[in-house]
Structure 1
Amino acid sequence: MNAIKMSNGGQAGMDTSCTVRDATMSLLREAGMTTIFGNPGSTELPFLRNFPADFRYILGLQESIVLGMADGYAQATRKAALVNLHSAAGVGHALGNLFTAFKNQTPLVVTAGQQARSMLPYEPFLFAERATEFPRPYVKWAIEPARAEDVPAAIARAYYIAMEPPCGPTFVSIPIDDWDKECELIVLRSVVTGNPGNPEAIANVATRLAAARNPVLVVAAGAARDDAWNETVALAERHEMPVWVAPVSARCGFPEDHRLFAGFLPAFRQAIFKALGGHDLILALGGPLSFYHAEGFGPHLPDGADLITIGDNVAHAAWSPVGDAIVANVKSALKQLLGAPASASPAAKTVKAVKPAVSGSHFNVAYLFQQIAQLRPNDSIIVEEAPSSRDAMHDYLPIRKPDSFFTCASGGLGHGLPAAIGISLGQPTRKTIAVLGDGSSMYAIQGLWTATQLNLPVSFVIVNNRRYEALESFGRLLGVQQPVGTKLENIDFCELAHAQGMQSRRATEPRQLDEALRWSFATQGPTLVEVMVD
């Protein structure tokens, strides 16, 4: 459950008149939203006038980077973050990562400047026509308040909605001349959100689990968002269930070195059918099983298998093609399941298979991930946006602790680099390691500047294979043997880092890689390691 902590309220008879700017800053301060992510334009300047000393402004050099940083920060802190964008052009730049934030179920309050109300009938320069429609459908709620004095109330409502499960971004368009108008102070209310699930429905799941001959768990990103790591481990061990990661999950909800860890389900219908064969009950936690990447045919589930999905997203419950669904907070639901009477003790089993070590004779991504796993700090956080390298990461870089892995839930590029910056801002005592493809990095390379300015403990590891390998691999699957527009020759990431004030090293063979990783992981500030893989 999400508890939104608010103030104690105002006193009767108190004079609460002030400017819209003052009321908004007071509101944000009460909500703990004193870190603002932005790239300011002309219509945002009045909001930033007399910027409070207890706030901080995180500047990104392009709006998609701003949105990605805020996404990472909100995920790392489990609190809504404020994003300040510029009218239509800035919102347009940010839309790719807004889409990702929506798919990540990240709580964000996105504001955008609008031209003065008196100018709107004349379609002025740098205004937003039908501003609330532009970011849809990838925001939960959008508004341009009818009156200036309604702006603080609109931001408060946007905050409540962003934090209500399923969490997600909201949007408020604010005309430039609203900030200096008078209004009343808004006192944030105490709102407790979250659906623990119907007790009778959860009790029915417990009965079906106890009766199952060979149950299996599938864990998606929602289990991590609901902080259900320990409960998931306890339930798996109680019933000796193998545990799979749901297709293209953006978070890790179960230790990948656990003896019951079975692996990663591919995003293909026939492959899921094959992997889950022999199980009579499939319990999916925190997300759908049917998150397919390509067209498939045949049944969705193996013969004789029932599916139960538990998660906070009503959309997931609606679109699942088969099985039962319970809309609930995963942590609360699992606590109820763990409190139910247990069945006869099942025989202990071990599922986890260990991959053989990679020698380094071929300088490939498998060797890279193996060395990252061996050399990285114990409490470090992995952020990944290297799609063609994900299988190797699964095999050689196990995630062993909660809140230690983040990736993009949407499939769009340009999220990982700025998200790593936001995650580091939210978890500043831990080393963040961003493993990024060369193509992915170029969508947001300006983010290196912000990491340098803030001196954040981030290691950017660029997997440079000089092409969009994910496209070439998928092309081979579709019978496209020579796709066009996939070669990325002659990009020097060390020079790009140097130009933005960041230290860097390049590795072209195993000895150089180990030296570069040790140096990067031991350095307090941000660094970049470019890895030239085969």
Structure 2
Amino acid sequence: MVLGHPTRVQGTVQPDTQTLQALINRIRQAKRPVILAGHELARHDCFKEAGEFATRIGAAVYQESVPYNSRFPTEHPANMGEITRNQHKVLETLSQHDLMICLGGDLLRMSPKADVEPLPVGMPVIHISERDWELGKNYPTEMAIQANVASTLRAMLPMLDTMLDDSERTAAKARIDELKPTNWQSRRASLVESLAQHANSAPAQADYAVLQVVEALTPDTIVVDENPTYSAMLFKLMHANSPSSYYGLTSGGLGFGMAGAIGASLAHPGRPVVATIGDGSSLYSIQAIWTAAHLKLPVTYVILNNQSYQIIKDRLIAMRGSNQFVGMDMSDPEIDFLSVAKGFGLNAVRVEKASDIQAAVREAIASGKPSLVDIAIEPSVK
């Protein structure tokens, strides 16, 4: 039997010159444009081009609401962080702008239900994506362009250089400078300073614990995150300047992280992988750690252990106004993650003090062996 050869369909599509000119002319009309950076930027490895585009047009950049992966370099001065999935906050943010450009992302996937729409009434939208089903799906879109985002950006940049005049370049630079006091880097610096007060907590204060895990990462570390309660803080603290820095919980369904870390390690041989996992999330596929041990992968599982389904508690309070927690605690008996990990063949350590977190994670990464670090976290709600 002859199996034949695989066929790869080349789907890279670039808009024609007329469309690109119309696109640029529409952007030139905006006085305060904003970019929603999506996961296709990482998929097609065009962070550099996306950064140059934001600088050229003087646009603030927010990362799309669902954390598929790294979506825009954190160190870029236009990076304002996550757009969030809070409709009220998104509406407030977008109301400061007069044009939204969605680059290779989902257009405002929100959760949970709210009494307002996140897109301001009348806000014009440009959406560039290779996924035709996302274009014009939920919101009116003035320009919907089905195209490869990397090819589109690479074609636009030299055209922008030609079409923008000196006054437009000056205005764009002024807008970028205006963002610097409140951009991701500035807010991170303030946040790190404020978290220092928790350096000696035991068990660790959650946000400080996340900071210590982040500080232990090496520049080539890949983070796979399934940590619903503390992911927002991870986004505020973690440097992610390469398309393969981070992979996250795309669908909202729990259980991918333990096995997903193995997939990331196999896809990037030799690079260290740190999986930040909630104690509840880890139990959906805890057996995956045997595969990490079997394949001797450089994966470090960091369990942020608050002995509860904290995200469910938080949402019960927010959505129902109730603190009657039924079946949401995992403290009687407490789960012994060290015994579980060692039983599956991993090196494992328990960290009780905030001051010990960074060293423990750093040592696990440096070992190059499959490991687990169980960090005791003070729950925000008991």
Q: TM-score range by the shorter chain?
A: 0.7 to 0.9
Tell me, yes or no, if the aligned pair for 1:502 and 1:526 is still in contact at 8 Å: yes
**Structure 2 letter corresponding to 1:366:** D
Residue from 287, 294, 302 that aligns with 2:120: 302
Residue from 519, 523, 530 that aligns with 2:363: 519
Most deviating of 295-304 and 409-418: 295-304
1:532 corresponds to = 376
**Matches of 2:288 and 2:346 in 1, distance apart?**
11
1:143 corresponds to = none
Q: Once the 2 structures are TM-superposed, how far is the Cα of residue 304 of structure 1 from its aligned partner?
A: 5.5
**Matches of 2:264 and 2:359 in 1, distance apart?**
25
1:331 corresponds to = 150
Residue from 269, 288, 296 that aligns with 1:428: 269
For residues 268-322 of structure 1, what are the alpha-carbon distances to aligned partners after superposition, in whole Å with 9 as ceiling and x for unaligned?
3322111112211110111222201122234442355311111111121142222
Q: Once the 2 structures are TM-superposed, how far is the Cα of residue 431 of structure 1 from its aligned partner?
A: 0.7
1:147 corresponds to = none
Are residue 342 (structure 1) and residue 160 (structure 2) matched?
A: no
For residues 326-372 of structure 1, what are the alpha-carbon distances to aligned partners after superposition, in whole Å with 9 as ceiling and x for unaligned?
11111011112212223421224124133233222442221122122
**Structure 2 letter corresponding to 1:475:** L
Are residue 201 (structure 1) and residue 19 (structure 2) matched?
A: yes
1:210 corresponds to = 28
TM-score (norm 2): 0.87
Are residue 507 (structure 1) and residue 351 (structure 2) matched?
A: yes
**Matches of 1:373 and 1:188 in 2, distance apart?**
41
**Matches of 1:392 and 1:285 in 2, distance apart?**
24
Larger radius of gyration: 1
Tell me the SS of whatever aligns to 2:229: helix
**Structure 1 letter corresponding to 2:11:** T
Tell me the SS of whatever aligns to 1:236: helix
Change (3 A) 1:301 1:388: same
Tell me, yes or no, if the aligned pair for 2:213 and 2:357 is still in contact at 8 Å: no
Tell me, yes or no, if the aligned pair for 1:365 and 1:392 is still in contact at 8 Å: no
For residues 50-92 of structure 1, what are the alpha-carbon distances to aligned partners after superposition, in whole Å with 9 as ceiling and x for unaligned?
xxxxxxxxxxxxxxxxxxxxxxxxxxxxxxxxxxxxxxxxxxx
Tell me, yes or no, if the aligned pair for 2:39 and 2:70 is still in contact at 8 Å: yes
2:214 corresponds to = 373
Show the 5 A alignment for 1:173-192.
185-189=3-7, 191-192=9-10
Change (3 A) 1:383 1:202: same
2:255 corresponds to = 414
**Matches of 1:491 and 1:199 in 2, distance apart?**
60
Residue from 451, 462, 470 that aligns with 2:311: 470
**Matches of 2:294 and 2:120 in 1, distance apart?**
53
**Structure 2 letter corresponding to 1:387:** P
**Matches of 2:277 and 2:318 in 1, distance apart?**
23
Change (3 A) 1:414 1:298: closer
**Matches of 1:450 and 1:190 in 2, distance apart?**
30
Change (3 A) 1:297 1:511: closer
1:447 corresponds to = 288
**Structure 2 letter corresponding to 1:502:** L
Tell me, yes or no, if the aligned pair for 2:38 and 2:104 is still in contact at 8 Å: yes
Are residue 356 (structure 1) and residue 192 (structure 2) matched?
A: yes
**Matches of 1:470 and 1:398 in 2, distance apart?**
24
1:486 corresponds to = 328
Tell me, yes or no, if the aligned pair for 2:200 and 2:353 is still in contact at 8 Å: no
Any stretches of 5+ residues in structure 1 without a counterpart? 1-17, 24-184
Residue from 389, 394, 400 that aligns with 2:230: 389
**Matches of 1:437 and 1:189 in 2, distance apart?**
40
1:180 corresponds to = none
**Matches of 2:83 and 2:32 in 1, distance apart?**
18
1:281 corresponds to = 99
Q: Once the 2 structures are TM-superposed, how far is the Cα of residue 416 of structure 1 from its aligned partner?
A: 1.1
Q: Once the 2 structures are TM-superposed, how far is the Cα of residue 497 of structure 1 from its aligned partner?
A: 0.5
**Matches of 2:151 and 2:111 in 1, distance apart?**
31
**Matches of 1:239 and 1:513 in 2, distance apart?**
42
Are residue 237 (structure 1) and residue 59 (structure 2) matched?
A: no
TM-score (norm 1): 0.63
Change (3 A) 1:188 1:383: closer
Tell me the SS of whatever aligns to 1:273: helix
**Matches of 1:284 and 1:302 in 2, distance apart?**
15
Q: Once the 2 structures are TM-superposed, how far is the Cα of residue 384 of structure 1 from its aligned partner?
A: 0.3
Change (3 A) 1:454 1:189: closer
Change (3 A) 1:311 1:508: same
Tell me, yes or no, if the aligned pair for 1:268 and 1:292 is still in contact at 8 Å: yes
For residues 217-240 of structure 1, what are the alpha-carbon distances to aligned partners after superposition, in whole Å with 9 as ceiling and x for unaligned?
111212211222111111011122
**Matches of 1:356 and 1:414 in 2, distance apart?**
30
Tell me the SS of whatever aligns to 2:135: helix
Tell me, yes or no, if the aligned pair for 2:300 and 2:370 is still in contact at 8 Å: yes
**Structure 1 letter corresponding to 2:75:** D
* Aligned residue-pair number: 352
Q: Once the 2 structures are TM-superposed, how far is the Cα of residue 199 of structure 1 from its aligned partner?
A: 4.1
Tell me, yes or no, if the aligned pair for 2:207 and 2:233 is still in contact at 8 Å: yes
RMSD over aligned Cα atoms:
1.8
Tell me, yes or no, if the aligned pair for 1:280 and 1:304 is still in contact at 8 Å: no
**Matches of 1:433 and 1:189 in 2, distance apart?**
34
**Matches of 1:517 and 1:189 in 2, distance apart?**
43
**Matches of 2:107 and 2:8 in 1, distance apart?**
35
Change (3 A) 1:481 1:190: closer
Are residue 317 (structure 1) and residue 135 (structure 2) matched?
A: yes
**Matches of 2:141 and 2:260 in 1, distance apart?**
34
Report % sequence identity.
28
1:29 corresponds to = none
Tell me, yes or no, if the aligned pair for 1:228 and 1:253 is still in contact at 8 Å: no
Tell me, yes or no, if the aligned pair for 1:217 and 1:284 is still in contact at 8 Å: yes
**Matches of 1:492 and 1:220 in 2, distance apart?**
39
